[in-house]
Amino acid sequence: MTAKPWKLVLLLTGIFLAGAVTGGVVAWLFGREIVKKHFVPEQWGPARLEMLVKRLDLTPAQVETLRPIVKRNVDALADLRVESMTGTRQLLERLEREISAQLTPEQKVKFDKINAERRERVRRLMEQRRSEGGKRGERRDRPPPGDEVPPPRGGDIDD
């Protein structure tokens, strides 16, 4: 007795969908942490410099020359983020005003509640990120951000 072709197709489709859902969940769970770690300018700069030290065998003089360059550009990136977030906030406020102008009084009450809930979620998220950043910075045995670069490799054969 052989299986009918539609049953086999259904089975394979189910297996594929189960794998896709599982992969999506795993990517979502681990991807958030990876993105969170890699897109903080204060961490990106030292990590980038550390990578260059390791891969290019930079001399101590080169590290000292590159450190202020990386810091200056990471600071510029942080400023750009602030500007972008300010512009985003202004656009969202304008969007809310324009939408609100088209709503009935009952709808405005609901709309205001929706926006207040969204702002609270964003506030909590930002507070959480700040506290996580503070926890990372509490270690006193580490140099200040921007100085977290290991010494350049001495060109040892064993490295």
pLDDT (tens digit, 9 = 90+) per residue, 40-96? 666 788 888 999 999 999 999 999 999 999 999 988 988 998 899 899 989 999 999
**d(C-alpha 54, C-alpha 149), whole Å:** 10
- Residue 144, pLDDT > 70, answer no
Q: How many CB atoms lie within 10 A of CB 13?
A: 10
pLDDT one-digit tens code per residue, 92-134: 999 999 999 999 999 999 999 999 999 899 889 888 888 876 5
**d(C-alpha 49, C-alpha 147), whole Å:** 10
Query: Which pairs with CB-CB distance under 8 Å and at least 24 residues apart come from 1-5?
Result: none
- Residue 150, pLDDT > 80, answer no
All structural domains of the chain with their residue ranges? 38-100, 103-137
pTM above 0.85, yes or no: no
